Amino acid sequence: MEVDKGKGEAEETRKVAEADRDTVTLKSSDGKLFEVSKEAAARLSTVLAGMIAGGSIDDNGTDLKQIGSEALENVVDYCNKHANSIPSAALISSSISFNTAPFKEPEEWERKFVDRLSHDALFDLVEAANFLGMERLLDVTCHKISEMMKGKSPDQIREVFNIKNDYTKEELEEIRQELAWAFYDD
Amino acid sequence: MLERVLARLPPASYFRLRGVSRRWRAAADSTTFRAACARAPPRDPWFLMLQDSANQDPAVVYDSGERAWARWRGSPEPTPVAAAGGLVLYRDPATGELTVVNPLTGASRPLPSPPAAADALQAVAMFGSPAYRVVLILGELPKLSMATFDSTTNAWEDVVPLSRKTYTSAVVTANGEDAAAAVAYFLSRSGTVVACDMARRAFAELPRILPAYHEYSIDVVACGGAAYAVVLSEFLDTASLRVWELDAGGAWRQVAAMPPAMSHAFRGAKADVNCVGHADRVMVCVSSGDVAGARGCFVCDVRTNRWEELTCCADGDGEEATCFVAALSFEPRMEAAV
C-alpha cells in the first residue's frame, strides 16, 4: 500500500471529508469512475472494507487496476441494489461468517441480476468478486455458472467454456470405469 | 473458483464432467472443493435399491435429483443394512462384520467387531452426521438389548438391556442434527412396529394399525423427523396403500393414500411393500412373489399426498420390471468422511 507523506494538511482535510461521505469512488482499469454506497461496499467486500478502514480510499477514484469498467459497473450495481433491497438475515450472516456458512439460494433479484449477463460479463464478474473478496457475489455467480453446466455433456462444456480436452482416449475410459456405479444413459 | 462452481453441481453431474479436462478431475481432491461441498445445500437423496438375493443383478441406485438410474458396480455382498447422512453401512451376513462406506467416493472404514452377543440381531440403526452412531438391537421380544458404536471414539459401548415401556411418551425421530433424541423403528417378526428410544434405553411396541386378520403388508419408515408406517391392505375387493404418521401422542394418523386407480392393480397380487424415506419423500417399492403380479416403485410426498410412479430402470434388455426387496437412502456427499 502506498503512503504519501508529502502532502500535509490539504491531504488531511480531504481524508476527513472522505470519511464523512457516504459513498466511495472506484476507478476501473480503463479509468472510468463509479460511485458506490460506502456501507454496502464495506459490508459486501472484505477488500473494500479493509481499504475504507485503513483510509486508503482515494476521493478521486480508488484505483482497481485488475477490474475492467464493465465488471466494475456490475459490482457497483450489485452493491447498490443490495443496499436498496431489504437485507435478509440470511445474506447478512453469509457476508459475515463467509466460507463455512451453508450456501443460501440466490434471492429473486440476485437471480435476475446474473441472468441478464453475457457469458464473458459473468466470468469477468466472478473474477472481480474474487479479487474484491465479495463472498456473497461469488456464491451467486458461481451458482449461476454451475446452473449453466447442469445437464451438459463434457463435449458441450468444452465448447461453451472453451476448454481443451487434455485426456487420452484410454484415460477417458478409465474415468468412466473408476466409479462405483454407472448411469444407464451414459 | 472452479472448485466452488463444481461443488454446486449435483454429484452425478460433477462425475460426468470430470471428463472435461485433467484440471476438472483434479479438483475433487482439493480441500477447497471439499470445503465448498460442505457448504452446499442439502442434496437430493439417492436411493440404493436392493434386489432379491437370488437375483444375480447388482444393486441399483436411483438419483432423485436427476431422476436417473445407475447400476451399482460394487459386489453384491456384503449387504447394505443402514444409512445416515452421506454414508452407508454394510454388513457381511456370514461374519457379521460391519463396514461404513461413502458410496460416492468409495472411501470405506471397517468397524471394530461388535461385542459378542448370543442374541439374534433384530435391527441395525445408523444415525448422526458427520459424527455417527451405529446401533445393533439384539434379542427377542420382550427381551431386547442394544450395542452402540460411536464414530468419534471408534469403539463399541457395552451391550445394555432395553427396558419395556408402555407407549406413553412422545417420540422424536433423529433428524441428523439431534442424534441424542434418536429413536429407531423396526418391524418385529409378528408384524408390530417397535420403537427403540436409544437415549432412554427403552422400547415400546406400537399399537397395530389394522386388525391382524386383514391381509396386509407393512413397512416402517423414519424420515424428516417423523415416523411413518406404509400399509398395503385388501378390503372390499380392492387394494389400498396408505401412509400413517406416528403422532406425538403415540397414535397413528393417516397422512397419505395412493390414488385407488394406482393401488387397485395390487389386488390379489400378494404384494409386499418395502419403503425408505428421505425428508418429506417416501419411496415405496411394491414387489410380488407372483411372477405375473403387479409391481412398481412410487415416490410419495407425505406433506402433499402426491404420488409418482418411477419409470423403471432400463437395464439393457430392459423388458423385465425389477423387484426391489429393500431400499436405503443417503445424501450424495463427496465430503462425507467415513
Are B2 and B100 part of one and the same domain? no
Percent of the residues in chain B that have a pLDDT greater than 70, as a whole number:
85
Q: In this structure, is residue B335 part of a structural domain?
A: no
Local confidence band at B120 (pLDDT 50, 70, 90 cut-offs)? confident
Are B274 and B217 part of one and the same domain? yes
**Mean pLDDT confidence for A135-144:** 89
pLDDT in tens, A94-114: 444 445 677 788 888 888 989
- The residue whose grid cell reads 472435461 is B20
Nearest-CB residue to A180 (from B13, B35, B74): B74
Q: In this structure, is residue B284 part of a structural domain?
A: yes
Predicted local distance difference test score (pLDDT) of residue B39: 85
Predicted local distance difference test score (pLDDT) of residue B212: 65
pLDDT at residue B307 greater than cutoff 90: yes
Q: In this structure, is residue A76 part of a structural domain?
A: yes
Q: In this structure, is residue A32 part of a structural domain?
A: yes
Q: In this structure, is residue B262 part of a structural domain?
A: yes
Local confidence band at B18 (pLDDT 50, 70, 90 cut-offs)? confident
Are B169 and B92 part of one and the same domain? yes
Residue B68: list chain A partners with CB under 8 A.
Answer: 183-185
Q: In this structure, is residue A52 part of a structural domain?
A: yes
Q: In this structure, is residue A186 part of a structural domain?
A: no
Are B12 and B113 part of one and the same domain? no
Q: In this structure, is residue A37 part of a structural domain?
A: yes
CATH code of the domain containing B280: 2.120.10.80
Are B8 and B70 part of one and the same domain? no
CB distance B286 to B276 below 8 Å? no
CB distance A37 to A84 below 8 Å? no
ipTM rounded to 2 decimals: 0.74
Task: Give ∠ CA B311-B312-B313 in degrees, rounded to 5.
Answer: 120
Contact flag B68-A183 (C-beta cutoff 8 Å): yes
Residue at B47: amino acid letter: F
Residue at B281: amino acid letter: R
State whether residue B6 is helix, strand or coil: helix
Contact flag B19-A172 (C-beta cutoff 8 Å): yes
Percent of the residues in chain B that have a pLDDT greater than 90, as a whole number:
13
Q: In this structure, is residue A61 part of a structural domain?
A: yes
- How many domains does one find in chain B? 2
Contacts of A112 (CB under 8 A, 6+ apart): none
Predicted local distance difference test score (pLDDT) of residue B241: 92
Predicted local distance difference test score (pLDDT) of residue B292: 63
Q: In this structure, is residue A160 part of a structural domain?
A: no
Nearest-CB residue to B315 (from A147, A158, A184): A184
> Domain containing A52: what range?
20-153
pLDDT at residue B149 greater than cutoff 90: yes
pLDDT at residue B335 greater than cutoff 60: yes
Are B121 and B154 part of one and the same domain? yes
pLDDT in tens, A28-70: 888 888 888 888 888 888 888 888 888 877 777 788 888 888 8
Positive or negative, the CA dihedral A130, A133, A139, A140 is negative
CATH code of the domain containing A139: 3.30.710.10
Q: In this structure, is residue B336 part of a structural domain?
A: no
Are B53 and B18 part of one and the same domain? no
**Mean pLDDT confidence for B288-302:** 79
Measured CA to CA in angstroms, residue B68 lies from A151, B62, B84, B142, B197 at distances of 12, 6, 22, 43, 36
**Mean pLDDT confidence for A158-174:** 88
Predicted local distance difference test score (pLDDT) of residue B317: 43
DSSP string, B163-220: EE--S-S------SS-GGG-EEEEE-TTS-EEEEETTTTEEEEPPPSS-TTS-EEEEE
Are B115 and B31 part of one and the same domain? no
pLDDT at residue A8 greater than cutoff 60: no
> Domain containing B27: what range?
1-40
Q: Which residue has the higher pLDDT, B55 or B3?
A: B3
Predicted local distance difference test score (pLDDT) of residue B128: 83
Residue A143: list chain B partners with CB under 8 A.
Answer: 8
Q: In this structure, is residue A135 part of a structural domain?
A: yes
- How many domains does one find in chain A? 1
pLDDT in tens, B33-53: 888 888 888 888 898 887 765
What 8-state DSSP symbol labels residue B92? -
| Model pTM score | 0.78
Are B21 and B168 part of one and the same domain? no
Q: Which residue has the higher pLDDT, B56 or B268?
A: B268
Contact flag B10-A176 (C-beta cutoff 8 Å): no
Beta bridge partners of B146: B137, B160
Are B270 and B186 part of one and the same domain? yes
Are B199 and B321 part of one and the same domain? yes
Predicted local distance difference test score (pLDDT) of residue A95: 42
Among B331, B335, B330, B333, CA closest to B35: B335
Predicted local distance difference test score (pLDDT) of residue B76: 57
Q: In this structure, is residue B338 part of a structural domain?
A: no
